[in-house]
Amino acid sequence: MNYLKILDNISETNQIYIVGGTIRDYLLEKSINDIDMIVFNSINDVVYKFADTINKKVIVLDKNRNIFRVVVDENIFLDFSSPVGQDLLEDLGYRDFTINSMAIELSKIGFNNNQLNIKKEHIIDPFNGIKDIEKHIIKVVKQSSIKKDPLRIIRAFRFANNLNFEINSKTKKIIKDDISLIKQIKVERIREELIKFFDYRLNINTIRDFLNTNIITELFNLEYNNINTRNIINTLECFKKNNYYTKTNNHRYISVLITIFLDLIKSNKLNYKVVEDILYSYTFNKNDVIIIRDYLYVINNLLNNHNKYKNKNELIYNKLFFDYIDYYEISYIINCYHNETDDLIVINDIIELLNKMKKRIENKKINGNTIMEILNIEPGERVGNILKIVKKKRALGILNSKEEIKDYIVSLSKNKNNQ
């Protein structure tokens, strides 16, 4: 934290305050990587002089609002901004929640073994943020806080979830009254908040409160009566209880979104294309959207049509096999969502077969060059088609060794119609 000493030394004539989440995280004894500061007067001079002194670059985050960032070390950065309003109290009054509406003058910060040392008596705390931290409460600074920035609706639940806090009753009422305002927010900001929320270890009580606000219907333009909150909660609770999140390859938020949409898909109140369009409209990563869409497709087919696939290996491959899908995760979701034992026996047998198919094709035994060499053909569509056929036959256990595959390819030269 020597960089804070350097900053203090070069800014003797400027008032600089550390604000917001930095103080909150210090009081909660959490690691601090992001330090937010407000600078009264000559912010450009302070920021550029500081960056020059420590030989770092200035990143302009918002030129119009004077917001700058200096990355001082790996994963440690300082954000500088001008105050909102005429003084510190007015700036803190514009912030979202009491636990984020505290400040301390930079010159009042101490250091022990190069670590921050903040004394409570030096913290400027006009909205009793320290008290709310001690009580584990999320509370808006002012009645108008949500109206000024409706994204704070999701942020309230995100902080409650990630800090294991409780949103106080007054703030819950404000959120409920203002829930429709969430549509005013840019989709990119909503996406980022949802990911920060859903990608963390879920607090079931918080996610229950979140769903009960009707926010999903507002965000995704769905019919409220179509959403079975209980099914979503039960599935997520089972997922958490069995520690499935640590056993999956995908981000946690992907499993949460799949769970939210699953009941609507299964009951034919929503289709895959609509889910895809919704997620793209919120600018979710394209690969993540494809994963969510395809997982929903496979899960829904297994839930509604498992008897159709029983003992039909080729049909299972043609309709349900995607080599990038984690079928164990599919199993976790289904076993948490569905409780019909007879169905689950059939479904889990199909999933076991799909896992065997993945195992069989793990190692590439041939490539396009091998096919072109054996058949003495040029690169083209025929090579790709043969690779697909070989992959399918390997997945089904028809072709196993490299020799069997080569013999099969040789046979194609004798009868091209078998391709």
Q: Does the residue 65 lie in any domain? A: yes
Q: Does the residue 37 lie in any domain? A: yes
Q: Does the residue 392 lie in any domain? A: yes
pLDDT, tens digit (0-9, with 9 covering 90-100), for 343-394:
999 999 999 999 999 999 998 888 999 999 889 888 999 999 999 999 999 9
Which of 135, 157, 191 is the last residue before a domain boundary? 135
In this prediction, residue 291 has a pLDDT band, given cuts at 50, 70 and 90, of: very high
- Of the ranges 50-59, 129-138, 395-404, 409-418, which one carries the lowest mean pLDDT score? 409-418
Task: Please compute the mean of the pLDDT values over residues 384-408 and round it to a whole number.
Answer: 93
pLDDT above 50 (res 419): no
- Count other Cβ atoms within 10 Å, centred on residue 167: 22
Which pLDDT score is estimated for 71?
Answer: 92
pLDDT, tens digit (0-9, with 9 covering 90-100), for 234-247:
999 999 999 888 88
Which of 97, 119, 135 is the last residue before a domain boundary? 135
In this prediction, residue 413 has a pLDDT band, given cuts at 50, 70 and 90, of: confident
Provide the token pair at 17.
């305050």
Which pLDDT score is estimated for 86?
Answer: 86
Give the 3-state secondary structure of 341-397: HHHHHHHHHHHHHHHHHHHHCCCCCCCHHHHHHHHCCCCCHHHHHHHHHHHHHHHCC
* Helix (H) or strand (E) run with residue 137 in it: strand 137-138
Which of 100, 135, 170 is the last residue before a domain boundary? 135
Q: Does the residue 263 lie in any domain? A: no
In this prediction, residue 165 has a pLDDT band, given cuts at 50, 70 and 90, of: very high
Which of 159, 124, 122 has its CA nearest to residue 140?
Answer: 159
Task: Please compute the mean of the pLDDT values over residues 135-152 and round it to a whole number.
Answer: 96
pLDDT above 90 (res 159): yes
Residue with the two structure tokens 């600018």: 283
Residue with the two structure tokens 């939210």: 260
Burial class (CB in 10 A: 0-12, 13-18, 19+), 302: buried
Greatest distance between any 2 Cα atoms in the chain: 88
Domain count, the chain: 2
pLDDT above 50 (res 418): no
Question: The domain that contains 47 carries what CATH number?
Answer: 3.30.460.10
- Name the most confidently modeled range: 1-10, 59-68, 108-117, 130-139: 130-139
Report the distance separating Cα 20 and Cα 95, nearest Å.
8
Report the distance separating Cα 113 and Cα 2, nearest Å.
10
Q: Does the residue 379 lie in any domain? A: yes
Task: Please compute the mean of the pLDDT values over residues 59-81 and round it to a whole number.
Answer: 89
Provide the token pair at 59.
């990143």
DSSP labels for 62-84? ETTTTEEEEEEETTEEEEEEPPS
Q: Are 257 and 333 in contact (CB under 8 A)?
A: no
Task: Please compute the mean of the pLDDT values over residues 47-73 and round it to a whole number.
Answer: 90
Q: Does the residue 385 lie in any domain? A: yes
Q: Does the residue 296 lie in any domain? A: no
Which pLDDT score is estimated for 63?
Answer: 85
Task: Please compute the mean of the pLDDT values over residues 207-212 and round it to a whole number.
Answer: 94
Which of 94, 99, 72, 180 has its CA nearest to residue 145?
Answer: 94
- In one-letter notation, the amino acid at residue 118 is I
Which pLDDT score is estimated for 223?
Answer: 82
Which pLDDT score is estimated for 360?
Answer: 94
DSSP labels for 311-351? T-HHHHHHHH--TT--HHHHHHHHHHH---HHHHHHHHHHH
Q: Does the residue 109 lie in any domain? A: yes
For the chain, give the percent of residues with pLDDT over 90: 73
Report the distance separating Cα 58 and Cα 61, nearest Å.
9
What percent of the residues of the chain are helix, what percent strand, and what percent coil, each to the nearest 5? 60, 10, 30
Provide the token pair at 163.
């800090």
Which pLDDT score is estimated for 101?
Answer: 96
In this prediction, residue 16 has a pLDDT band, given cuts at 50, 70 and 90, of: very high
More confident site: 171 or 64: 171
Q: Name the residue range of residue 408's domain.
A: 368-418
- CB-based contacts of 401, cutoff 8 Å, min separation 6: 365
- Mean pLDDT computed over every residue of the chain: 91
Task: Please compute the mean of the pLDDT values over residues 144-160 and round it to a whole number.
Answer: 96
